[in-house]
Amino acid sequence: MNKIKIVNDKLEKINLCKCINVEYIISEYIFGINVVKIHVSNDTELEIEIDLKEDVRLNFDITIDKNVKFNLFILTKGNKGKIQYKYNLYENTVCNIEKFQNINTIKEMMITNLNGENAAINYNFKTISNNKESYDFHIFHNSKNTFSNIKNGGVCIKDGSIIFQVSSFVPKNITNCVVNQSNRIINLTNNESKIKPNLYIDCNDVEASHSALIGTFSDSELFYLQSRGITKEDAIKLLIRGFVTSDITNLKLQKNINKNLDKYWR
Amino acid sequence: MNTLKIVNLTVKVDDKIILKDFNLDINSGEIHVLMGPNGIGKSTLTKVIMGDPTYTIVDGKIYYNNVLLNELSTDERARMGIFLGMQLPMEIEGVTNADFLRTALTTKEKENFKLYEFIKKIDKTVEMLDMKKDMIHRGVNQGFSGGERKKNEILQMYMLNPSFIMLDEIDSGLDVDSLKIVGESVYNYYKQNNPGILLITHYERILDYIHPTHVHIVSDGKIIKTGDYSLVREIEKYGFDKTNSKKVNSIGVCAIKEKIENE
């Protein structure tokens, strides 16, 4: 599979096909922002692996041509970082993103521009938080008949805390859009986590939904699993594994997730 | 011989008494059916036996093979061989049926767990229950219809091989064909393994397949009438109220006379 591997400020391109063009611009300044420009011109898949051992700032600028179906799998690990992802989608572009993160501290922003009719983004994100994590998502429906489905899930352990701020925008006269947000945080700590789901809709002809849930697993779920002889500890492990791997279809990403989960819940 | 013994059990939830001085003994090879109107504590009884922390035992004791269950956790009770097929089985996001059952069996059987035997048994049971083969790799009850969920409960029962089985309205949500498959599967398990069974139902039709040895009518948190299969026919014919009131009248008129007549 097409792959980009980033370790701190070094980028490696692995088996990239012609339909993926990657440009990497390293900042000349000490605390500057490195920019990764990705242009996708045909149906394809890409895997991005990011390992931030030092405090690195990265900007991804990802443009997907019209009529292109693009599957993106992102794995982020390491210590600390600030990352911005900007996705530009055009007419009939479909972008499916599966992403897993296990990093100590991260501040991240995602901007999605749905610029052409029938542009669609399916975003499925899971994280295990050991420390402070903050995510800010902005989804702009700039054209009619556009679709966004944003699913975020996080598990807080140790000193972990998560903030999900998700804002979807549908301006006036941008009709027939579908806007979905779904956010859930499993908080296994006493720290405070927040979800701020925002729907800024200025158009009557829209199908929109949002959900936000912070808590632990329900007593009913635990009772059901325990009623089959599974100990409470194992039941919680099973539920965490299920929650973090649900909707992740990429086998390599699944394997990585399981490897990370084994670190905490073997 | 395995025996479940419930002695003077009083249970409350949210300060409301649901079961009061409830007594019941179930031995291996016995099939007990609990019938009664909605909301009188039938499902509560099964959950209390299974150790659902939602319910508080105010008084009384539950024993299984002379071991007091009151202080045991749900999973400990399950590993003793007690199984509850639930009325509304939970949907567990992302946890596949295979992972779920493998974890349950590994916990129970430890180093005796054999993966190949597990796969063989699960395939055979899925086929017997006429379930879709891919369901084993799907999330537990995720996207399952009511009927599929009930079949999944029976699949779990077969895999876990319990010695005492509680089935709470296992017939609800089943079409005629599925009811036959579920009913016959439970009865086949009974014939092969001789467990004690506590069955809760509102309808007679499941009893065409699972023939009860004891039938109880529950009202106001306790058993008010016990009989054999003919009691089911009586309930079907007269309803709970009339069947109950017949009993009340007989006691009210003259209990000694009734006893002499019976003799």
CB distance A116 to A90 below 8 Å: yes
State the fold for domain B3-95+160-262. Answer: Rossmann fold (3.40.50)
Q: Average pLDDT of chain A?
A: 93
For position B251, what pLDDT does the model report? 41
Which backbone phi and psi does B242 adopt, to 5 degrees?
-70, -40
**How far apart are the two ends of chain B, measured CA to CA in Å?**
31
Predicted-complex ipTM score: 0.89
For position B263, what pLDDT does the model report? 53
Per cent of chain A over pLDDT 90 is: 79
CB within 8 Å of chain B, chain A residues 163-192: none
How far does A261 lie from chain B, in Å, by closest CA? Answer: 14
For position B252, what pLDDT does the model report? 43
Report whether pLDDT(A252) > 60: yes
Measure the CA–CA gap between A211 and A180, rounded to whole angstroms.
Answer: 9
B74 CB neighbours in chain A (<8 A) are 223, 226-227
For position B32, what pLDDT does the model report? 96
3-state secondary structure of A194: strand
Which residues, at least 6 apart from B117, have a Cβ–Cβ distance to it below 8 Å?
Answer: none
Residues of chain B with pLDDT under 50: 247-253
Instruction: Dump pLDDT digits (tens) for A174-233.
Output: 999 999 999 999 999 999 999 999 999 999 999 999 999 999 999 999 999 999 999 999
**Beta carbons of B100 and A238 less than 8 Å apart:** yes
For position B145, what pLDDT does the model report? 87
For position B262, what pLDDT does the model report? 56
How far does B55 lie from chain A, in Å, by closest CA? Answer: 12
B108 CB neighbours in chain A (<8 A) are 229
CB distance B198 to B166 below 8 Å: yes
Measure the CA–CA gap between A1 and B243, rounded to whole angstroms.
Answer: 71
Report whether pLDDT(A66) > 90: yes
For position A102, what pLDDT does the model report? 87
How does DSSP classify residue B2? -
How far does B179 lie from chain A, in Å, by closest CA? Answer: 23
**Among B119, B129, B115, which residue's Cα sits nearest to residue B157?**
B129
Chain B interface includes A241 (CB < 8 A): yes
Between helix A232-245 and helix A219-226 the angle, nearest 10°, is 120
* For chain A, domain boundaries: 3-217
Choose the closest CB to A223 out of B74, B99, B107: B74
CB within 8 Å of chain A, chain B residues 191-250: none
Chain A interface includes B92 (CB < 8 A): yes
Chain A interface includes B50 (CB < 8 A): yes
**Beta carbons of B99 and A224 less than 8 Å apart:** no
Lowest mean pLDDT among A41-45, A118-122, B95-99: B95-99
For position A132, what pLDDT does the model report? 92
Higher pLDDT, A112 or A241: A112
**Token pair belonging to A33:** 């922002």
Chain B interface includes A261 (CB < 8 A): no
Chain B interface includes A223 (CB < 8 A): yes
Query: Which chain B residue is nearest to residue A223, measuring alpha carbons?
Result: B52
Looking at the DSSP bridge assignments, the partners of residue B6 are B24, B62
Measure the CA–CA gap between B156 and B82, rounded to whole angstroms.
Answer: 12
Which residues, at least 6 apart from B187, have a Cβ–Cβ distance to it below 8 Å?
Answer: B209, B210, B211
